[in-house]
Structure formats: structure tokens, C-alpha cells
Structure 1
Amino acid sequence: MSNVLFLSIPDKHEVDSALDLASTLVDRGEKITFFSSNGFKKAIEKIGASFKYYRTDLDIFEQDANESLNDKPDSGLISALLHPMKLIDDIMEKVSGVNFDYIVFSAAFPFAHLIAQKLNIPSISKG
């Protein structure tokens, strides 16, 4: 049984696609830790994966519906791209002490290769 880290941008299409693969791996006995935004927590836990969330200020999809990107120009995806170490450090802190066998990430996920290098594990991009 492998311990697998999934990183997906919090987008319905991306998460749904990743959940299909993660569900198959869970059915085969793999242990999955899946990062996404709080809006996808139930769907992730429903397949038997462990849910981890991105800090709200790093998640453009958790933005208040009454705010525009101009109201918080340094939040969400913009913040992750401008300040990559905030995103990387947040993930590394939340997986501290856990040994993963490999990482699966959506092609659109920024900095997944750097996270894999920091964890010293192989990485697989899922299209």
C-alpha cells in the first residue's frame, strides 16, 4: 500500500478528474491525502481520501462573492504565483512528518515539481 499526495487546483473539472483517479487508487488499497479547497471536502472524503485544505488566502475560489480580484489583488491564485513559497510552505507544514511514496498533481498546479523535490518523491502529472 502506497501513501499518495494529490495536489489539484480547486476547480470542479480538475478536482472531478483527480477524484476519479484517486477513487480507483483508494479501491486498490492506496492511502490518499488530497489537497483542495473546503468546497470539495465532502467529495474527497466520500471516496475515502484524507482531505487537506489550502489556506484561504491562497485559494482564489474561496473568495467572498462580494469581492472582486481588485479588492484583494494579492490573494488566491495570484498570491500563489507571486509568492510561491507561501503555497509551498503551507503544504509542507501540513504534510510534515508524513512519508509519501509519490505525488499526483494536475498539470495546472503550480510548483508541484518543487514540492516533490522537497519531499524527495517521484511526481506524476495527470494530464
Structure 2
Amino acid sequence: MTERGWSYADLERESGRALTRGRWQQLGSADVQHKFPNPESLTVIAQVLQIDVTSVVLAAARAVGLPVTAQAGDFANQLPAGTERLSDPMREAILGLIRAAVAGTAAGPVHEEVGGVTLEWPKESAPSRQDPDGPAARREADV
């Protein structure tokens, strides 16, 4: 809400009044909820907030006190609203970068194919592992 500058009344309006301002406020509170939202409400929440319904269901489960743990960490939940509108090639490029970064945490060279191009580099030559005064820094200084 803060990121978008929305109020609970704005959320009510965006939902086509399917959820009242009071219900949005109740859902937005840090209080444990007493009732799991119905499927229609979960769908409306996901649409209004422009996030996937799975994230909404997991958040609702946590809100009613179920011990839900993210299986892939919270990284996916940090993606900004609107990522579902990315084109398939852009999505594949971003996923390729993430896969390459994750593979870079394992031993051995990093291989990743993005858009028909294979990316490969040894883990030890990753930019984060480079000496700040090493060859890459000298090449940049020469430019």
C-alpha cells in the first residue's frame, strides 16, 4: 500500500467493492485472523494487489496461524507487482540470470543458456570475486 500510495478506501474501490474498506483493513492488520478468506476474496486480493494467488493463499494461511514456511525462500515474494506482464523473452532472460547466479554458488563453472546464447564463466572469475585492482579494473581504467 505504501509503495503505491493506496489507502484502504482505494483498495475497496479497486476491488469493485467486492471487499470493503473494513475488510481490507482487517486483512492488512498484523492481528491473527479468525477465518480463512473464501476463494472469491483470495482471487480479488490477488487481482487488486497484482500478485499471484499462491502468495495470497500462503499469506492468508499465515494470518490464521498456520506454520507456513516458504520452500524457495522469500525471494519470489519480493518481486515487484507487474512482473507477470513481462514478455516471455524478458522473463526467460531474467530467469537465466538468476539460474546462472544460483549455479555460481556451486563449485565449477557457471553455464546458462539465455535466448539461444550460452553464458559460461568460472565461479572464481565472477565480478564479486575480482580483485579491485586486478585486470578487469585496469581494463576499465584504460577506457
Shorter-chain TM-score: what band? under 0.3
Structure 1 length as normaliser, TM-score?
A: 0.25
Q: Going by fraction, where is strand more abundant, 1 or 2?
A: 1
Higher relative contact order (CA 8 A, sep 6+): 1
TM-score when normalising by structure 2: 0.23
Larger Rg: 2
- In terms of fraction of residues, the more helix-rich structure is 2
